[in-house]
A and B are shown apart, each in its own frame.
Chain A
Amino acid sequence: MKFYRSFADVEADLRAGAVTCRQLVDHYLHRIQTHTHLNAFVAVYADEAQTRAAEIDQKIALGTAGRLAGMVLGIKDLLCYAGHGVQGGSRILDGFTSQITATAVQRLLDEDAILIGRQNCDEFGMGSSNENSAFGPVRNAADPTRVPGGSSGGSAVAVQADLCFASIGTDTGGSVRQPAAFCGVVGMKPTYGRVSRWGLLAYASSFDTIGPITHSVADAASLLEIMAGADDWDATASARPVPAYSQQLTLDRPLKIGYLREALEGPGVDAAIQQRLGETIDLLRKDGYVVEAVDLSLTRHALPTYYILTTAEVSSNLSRYDGVRYGYRSPAATDLESLYKKSRVEGFGAEAQRRILLGTFVLSASYYDAYYTKAQKVRRLVREETERVLQMYDVLLCPTTPTTAFRLGEKTTDPMQMFLADVFTVQANVTGLPAISIPAGTDESGLPIGLQVLGRAFQEQELFAFSQYLHLKLTT
């Protein structure tokens, strides 16, 4: 079986009778089985996927199949799928079965996508290396001694290693884009509110988004266009109409591009990544684009803003896991208070507990204004500054990450170093803007490099069209 990197190829082969959905599913099941050392999947829906594939093969024969017939997907272990387990990479949801299907997932199923399993991730999305999972770490297929990035690590590796055609991840501070960059695939974070969060286990509700991980920009566009749109179950989902992104992947005007000066010239970014960014700027200029350096004075402050607000939100969101109504309950509990405490201490991992403590602190009465309110104010300033720059430039270009994939265990003892892995990605979440990570070759050790393009709110269409052009440019 060939390594399909474009859904158009899958569809052509399905039409020509060169492959069936059943064969595709069997191929991915075999690949999953022979790559268990990567630890990308926490549950595989083998029988179900095979049965569904046979049904969809029938539909294709009858001409009644949906737009995603033949697309075999994995979903991050933060997305609900009714009748199936979901635990956000956490022990605290041991044995939990979803009673609903996330709106985004349902829309993909309605178009005949096949779900092959759920994928490993950092606990409730909290991490940049996929080392904070109750299911153990995920390994990067480019070098299994290295991390895949996080928190959607399993989802990125599954696409990288051909364990499924595409994945659906979630992005709160870079969790789709950063692992996509580390694994050499495309990862897209839509505008906040573009995709309903119904059925997504909450981490930080004012930051959380759902986004696709694919090999091509065109397929990311197709998946987003199906998942996006208003939803009765999520009042924060935007009612703006969803353009047919996948049908408009050609730029209709020359764009003006800004790049982050500090990312190209400043310290803390790998030389190979800076070189790749520099080459890309040259390529764009040769093609006639106006590309100019941009200074965002508040970039440095986006990261602490992100951590104050997300720890606050997570301490609130994770309070629901108390051992009473669902999930893990400690057998050592003697009274109600010890039931709460022991269930949570035994159920949550170390990083989740650390962030809950931080969030509880910044929300506590004496410190609320100094930390939480302050960060909300800075968030407004960061958004205003970014939007001002985006009035002058159509898109902003920077690396997705300051380094390529680091080694397992390299940063687990130093959370501050781990935070820095998100330095270029959090801007999009603090501001709510859409951004995409595009594979841009490798460093001297053969580790993938990702470049990030940030766009204007709800201008995914332009972001996709430019990224499609850039991706082709960088791979040819």
Chain B
Amino acid sequence: MNIDRGMLRRVAHLARLEVKESEEEALIASLTEVLTWMEQLDEIDTSDVEPLTHMGEAVDALREDVVRETITHEQALANAPQHDENYFRVPKVME
């Protein structure tokens, strides 16, 4: 898999990251190398194999739906970089 600049920028945006222009080339090389290495899985025939999606053995563990408090409103806000009495604060989204 060959990553190009446009692809890197799209993926970075999806991941909400930014790549400095000066670092793009090295990162493209490194991602291309790893993805190419990952492609060795293509050697394995998996045409009749179901993907393994859950590692646990439990299926549908059910319990009563009970209301309980995990953390308080104040606690929920306590670690926020910026908040007021009730809400997290972020830069204005709409003018």
Contacts and interface: CB of A to CB of B under 8 A. Distances in A.
A235 B11 CA distance: 32
A374 B41 contact: yes
B2 to A, nearest CB: 12
Given A206-B55, A335-B91, A377-B50, A357 B80 contact: no
Contacts of B15: 315, 319, 344, 356-357, 359-360
Contacts of B14: 360, 364
Q: Is the interface of A mostly helix, strand, loop or mixed?
A: helix
A325 B35 contact: no
Given A324-B90, A376-B53, A340 B41 contact: no
B49 interface: yes
A96 interface: yes
A388 B12 CA distance: 41
Nearest to B7: A361
Contacts of B3: 361
A236 B16 CA distance: 29
B52 A308 contact: no
A358 B30 CA distance: 10
A374 B80 contact: no
A139 interface: no
Interface in B51-92: 51-58, 61, 63, 70-71, 75-76, 78-82, 88, 90-92
Contacts of A354: 27, 30-31
B52 A377 contact: yes
A406 interface: no
B79 A360 contact: no
B61 A326 contact: no
B7 to A, nearest CB: 8
A325 B11 contact: no
A97 B76 CA distance: 11
Contact of B52 (A322, A367, A383): A383
Interface string A249-270: 0000000000000000000000
A329 interface: yes
Given A235-B61, A380-B49, A415-B30, A96 B79 contact: yes
A272 interface: no
A367 B33 CA distance: 16
A7 B91 CA distance: 54
A307 B38 CA distance: 8
A253 B72 CA distance: 53
B90 to A, nearest CB: 6
Contacts of A371: 35, 38
Chain B interface size range: 35 or more
Contacts of B27: 354, 357
A304 B38 contact: yes
A193 B54 CA distance: 11
Interface string A316-331: 0001001111111100
Given A329-B82, A357-B17, A416-B37, A336 B91 contact: yes
Given A324-B90, A354-B27, A378 B16 contact: no
Contact of B40 (A301, A319, A327, A376): A301
B50 A380 contact: yes
Nearest to A367: B1
A23 interface: no
A305 interface: yes
B33 to A, nearest CB: 7
A308 B44 CA distance: 15
B81 A328 contact: yes
A128 B40 CA distance: 22
B77 to A, nearest CB: 9
A378 B17 contact: no
A361 B17 contact: no
Interface of A: 95-97, 99-100, 192-193, 206-207, 232, 235-236, 238-239, 298, 300-301, 304-305, 307-308, 315, 319, 322-329, 333-337, 339-342, 344-345, 348, 353-354, 356-362, 364, 367, 371, 373-381, 383, 415-416, 432
Given A300-B40, A364-B11, A378-B49, 8 more contacts: A324-B81, A336-B93, A339-B90, A341-B18, A358-B35, A360-B15, A379-B52, A383-B52
Interface of B: 1, 3, 7-8, 11-12, 14-18, 27, 30-31, 33-35, 37-38, 40-44, 46, 49-58, 61, 63, 70-71, 75-76, 78-82, 88, 90-93
27 contacts: A192-B56, A193-B55, A206-B54, A235-B56, A235-B61, A301-B40, A305-B41, A307-B34, A323-B81, A324-B80, A325-B76, A325-B80, A334-B91, A336-B91, A339-B90, A341-B16, A344-B16, A344-B17, A353-B17, A357-B12, A360-B14, A364-B14, A374-B42, A376-B52, A377-B52, A380-B50, A415-B34
Question: What are the 5 A-B residue pairs with the smallest beta carbon separation, nearest first?
Answer: A376-B51, A329-B81, A326-B79, A380-B52, A377-B46
